[in-house]
Amino acid sequence: MNAIVKPVQGAQTVEPLARSPRGIAPLLLVPALALAMLPLVGSFPTWVTLTVAGLAMGMMLFIMASGLTLVFGLMDVLNFGHGAFVSVGAFTATLVLIPMRGWMEADSLVQNLAVLALAVLLAMVVTGLLGWAFERIVIMPVYGQHLKQILITMGGMIVAEQLINVIWGAEQIPLPLPTSLRGAVFIGDAAIEKYRLLAVVVGLVVFAVMFLVLNRTRIGLLIRAGVENRDMVEALGYRVRRLFVAVFAAGSALAGLGGVMWGLYKETLTAAMGGEMMVMIFIVIIIGGLGSVGGCFIGALLIALVTNYAGFLAPKVALVSTIALMIAILLWRPAGMYAPGSKP
Amino acid sequence: MTGLLSADLPRSRILSAALLVILAGLAFAPFLTTGARPLNTAATICVYIVLVASYDLLLGYTGIVSFAHTMFYGIGAYGIGLGLARVDEPTWTAALTGLGLALLLALALALVVGLFALRVRAIFYAMITLAVASSFAVLASQLSDFTGGEDGKTFSVPELLSPGYQLFASDVLGRTIDGKVITYYIVFGGCLLLFLFLLRVVNSPFGRVLQAIRENAFRAEALGYRTVVYRIWANCIAALVAALAGALMALWLRYVGPKTSLGFEVMTDILLIVVIGGMGTMYGAVVGATLFIIAQNYLKTLMGHASTALEGIPFLAAALHPDRWMLWLGVLFVLSIYFFPIGIVGKLRLRRLAAAGRSP
């Protein structure tokens, strides 16, 4: 036991993200990109609005993608059905938000946030449980077979989307923001939507909690060790599979949280919203480096900022710009910005 | 016969019978049926057989999961469509120029994406193709000046193929040989040739290497095959065939649009057909595509009738509602990956093998 405890203490003294120049360079990309865009955008207030919008979107992307990248890192499982949890989370939230419309429309921040918290809690519990069941029933039989994993999780996503249509109907569901989160605050001339600020805060909190859990707790140590080298952790007597189920459920719950936030951001829900997000999520985890939470965070911010700037500067190529970014990053580091371990 | 099928015989009596019925049905479709809808179904089946078979070359034979197959299909369709839509008088030159440019674009894209993503891992390729294909679809609907945007483009075809044209003055076997029938036979013939070509590819030494890569890429590499090169080649061939299939479809529909040629629904359909028909068999594409397209065109109507007939019974009526078709298909897809990943064709062949084992 002592032998296991020691590295934990050791880990406290090491800053995992900024260990080496290799770790620092991607960190500088986000501010560098934002600053480089300032002269192109032209006006400072517009730039602030765009940057905050990008950061908010990036935080939501990070919340949705983080679970997926950890799941892949830990067990080599790529869940193409991850988007289903995003949709399910968003739709589950309507179970709270629509009956409690009175609280949503009340002009009190406390009531608004309370109902949102309740909706998020329900969505996370439901998607977490669903993730647990999904891992046990759908993914467990196909461990280690990538081709089948891709096909089966894809099938799972089709079924989940159709089930959402069965339960909630095929129509779009409008999901207006609560009263006190509508509109914008002004800092100088720059308008910043309140909800985006909230999204940035929530994203930072999730990242901080995740960072602390991964770097300061024993379970986090095991997860990181499992991502680096699963066989070694198993040889030391830990059941990585059990850990994996927990991570999968947690990742699904995070996808659910991301889904609620994304649904409120878009203010409409469709069953296909999760599937549409998958494209962005994949790009994020690819450029971040499969299995790396830090890379996922930076990747999400980069993608979201690029999308927002490109959407303003050249709307027609907004989605292609993310592909260009992906290509540029992969040319620089073929396995993503922070590829963990020495896996083949 | 063996030469034509590249020595890859159906190897099951039921399968042979089914294939013959499908072939005969498709070959004589204009004379067996009347009206536009059955002929449309037949043409769609022809195109889908080729499209799915070319995807099978990737998924079933090489073990590559790609989500960009509809992109290549769409490129082919847009090639013909834009080629003909840009000129006032539709000519074969315009169509062929468009097609040629489309094939070049498809080849270049397949090469670049392959070079880029196939070196790393199969799983990377799946994700990257998904990203590239969806961006391409968005791009196609955004560049509305060039592609017609969301609405797509309708275009007229060379005179020989237009519905007003008649080849003979009198009817043949009770059907006027108009431009539509001629187009159908171009589609049918083209698809037959492409299918036989694919059969030839998978049964050539090249195809064997692909199967070796699917089974054990590391070992294939150790035996001295450059697996990356083979994968990229397979990718390029599949892309070109898909583009040709798309071109034939566009010629038949006289319309291209993002939904029918680039939509993700088409990709899901291909995946479902290839898995249900049988991966790595080529004939699976024939059986799967035929069943799927017929079901898609007629089963939905049938489900609608059944649903209204069973209105009193709450659960059954809801379960048979036409909108639920995709749900059942998804469930069937997941179950078939678990319980019979070899698909319909694999199952049929297995029966034959089992029977042979019992009576040696």
Answer whether A286 sits within 8 Å of B327, measured CB to CB: no
Q: How confident is the model at residue A5 (pLDDT cuts 50, 70, 90)?
A: very low
- Contact between A293 and A251 (Cβ < 8 Å): no
pLDDT tens digits for range A291-327: 888 899 999 999 999 999 998 888 877 768 888 898 8
Smallest Cα distance from A317 to chain B, Å = 7
What residues are paired with A174 via a beta bridge?
A268
How many domains does chain B fold into? 1
A179 within 8 A of A112, measured Cβ to Cβ:
yes
If you search the block for the tokens 């009576």, which residue do you land on? B359
| A226 at B interface, C-beta within 8 A | no
Query: Contact at 8 Å (CB) between B247 and B102?
Result: yes
Contacts of B116 in chain A (CB under 8 A): 327, 330
Q: Do B126 and A150 touch (CB under 8 A)?
A: yes
Answer whether A286 sits within 8 Å of B128, measured CB to CB: yes
B116·A146 Cβ contact <8 A: no
- With 0-12 CB in 10 A as exposed, 13-18 as middle and 19+ as buried, what is B59? buried
Contact B126 A141 (CB under 8 A): no
CA-atom Rg of chain B in angstroms: 21
Domain containing B108: what range? 13-358
Contact flag A155-B127 (C-beta cutoff 8 Å): no
What amino acid is encoded at A34 in this protein? A
pTM over 0.90: no
B273 to chain A nearest CA, in Å?
A: 12
- What pLDDT score was predicted for residue A64? 93
Whole-number Å distance between alpha carbons of A225 and A74: 9
Q: Select from B55, B6, B71 the least CA-distant residue to B235.
A: B55
Percentage of chain A lying above the pLDDT 70 cut = 92
Tell me, what amino acid is at B212? A
Would residue B237 count as lying in a domain?
yes
- Spell out which residues of chain B touch residue A166, defining contact as CB-CB under 8 Å: 318, 324, 327
**Residues A262, A64 contacting (CB under 8 angstroms):** yes
Count CB atoms within 10 A of the CB of residue A6: 10
Chain A neighbors of B131, CB-CB under 8 A: 279, 282-283, 286, 322-323, 326
Nearest Cβ partner for A158 among B122, B126, B268:
B268
Note the pLDDT tens digit of each residue in B133-160. Answer: 888 888 888 888 888 888 888 888 887 7
The CATH number of the domain holding residue B46 is 1.10.3470
The minimum CA-CA distance between B334 and chain A, rounded to whole Å, is: 6
pLDDT digits (tens, 9 = 90+) for A112-171: 888 889 999 999 999 999 999 998 888 888 887 888 888 889 888 989 989 998 888 888
Please give the ipTM for the structure prediction.
Answer: 0.80
With contacts defined as CB-CB under 8 Å, which chain A residues touch B314?
Answer: none
3-state SS, chain A, equals CHHHHHHHHHHHHCCCCCCCHHHHHHHHHHHHHHHHHHHHHCCHHHHHHHHHHHHHHHHHHHHHHHHHHHHHHHHCCCCCCHHHHHHHHHHHHHHHHCCCHHHHHCCCHHHHHHHHHHHHHHHHHHHHHHHHHHHHHHHHHHCCCHHHHHHHHHHHHHHHHHHHHHHHCCCCEECCCCHHHCCEEEECCEEEEHHHHHHHHHHHHHHHHHHHHHHHCHHHHHHHHHHHCHHHHHHCCCCHHHHHHHHHHHHHHHHHHHHHHHHHHHCEECCCHHHHHHHHHHHHHHHHCCCCHHHHHHHHHHHHHHHHHHHHHCHHHHHHHHHHHHHHHHHHCCCCCCCCCCCC
Residue B120, chain A, CB below 8 Å: the answer is yes
Angle separating helix axes A293-313 and A44-75, nearest 10 degrees: 140
Residue B275 distance to chain A (closest CA, Å): 9
Q: Which among A76, A136, A154, A307 is the top mutation candidate for probing chain B, defined by the most B β-carbons within 10 Å of its own β-carbon?
A: A154
The Cα A309–Cα A311 span in angstroms is 5
Quote the tokens at residue A6: 């020691």
How do residues A28-58 score in pLDDT, each as one tens digit?
A: 888 888 888 888 888 888 888 889 999 999 9
Query: Could you give the dihedral angle defined by the CA atoms of residues A261, A265, A271 and A274, in that order, rounded to the nearest 10 degrees?
Result: -60
> Quick check: A163 and B134 CB within 8 A?
no
Interface test with A, best of B55, B64, B65 (most A CBs within 10 A): B65
> Looking at the domain assignment, is residue B307 inside a domain?
yes
pLDDT of residue A59: 94
CATH level 3 topology of A21-332: ABC transporter involved in vitamin B12 uptake, BtuC (1.10.3470)
* Residue pair B75/B105 in contact by the 8 Å Cβ criterion: yes
* CA dihedral of residues B271, B275, B276, B282 (deg, nearest 10): 100
Coil, strand or helix at B120: coil
Interface touch B131/A282, C-beta < 8 Å = yes
Instruction: Give the whole-angstrom CA distance, residue A267 versus residue A116.
Output: 14
The secondary structure element, H or E, covering residue B255 is strand B255-256
> Is residue B333 within 8 angstroms of chain A, CB to CB?
yes
Q: What percent of chain A has pLDDT over 90?
A: 28
Q: Comparing C-alpha atoms, which of B60, B40, B41, B34 is closest to residue B292?
A: B41
Alpha-carbon span B202 to B211, nearest angstrom: 8
CA distances from B56 to A135, B8, B66, B129 (A): 28, 15, 10, 16
pLDDT digits (tens, 9 = 90+) for A193-252: 888 999 999 999 999 999 899 889 998 899 888 888 888 899 999 888 888 899 999 999
pLDDT number for residue B58: 92
With an 8 Å Cβ cutoff, are A147 and B63 in contact?
Answer: yes
- Rg of chain A over Cα atoms, rounded to whole angstroms, equals 20
Q: CB-based contact (8 Å) between B298 and chain A?
A: no
User: In 3D, which of A220, A78, A57 has the Cα closest to residue B128?
Assistant: A78
- Predicted confidence (pLDDT) at residue B201 exceeds the cutoff of 80: yes
Supply φ then ψ for residue A339, to 5 degrees: -85, 115
Tokens of B324: 């639920």
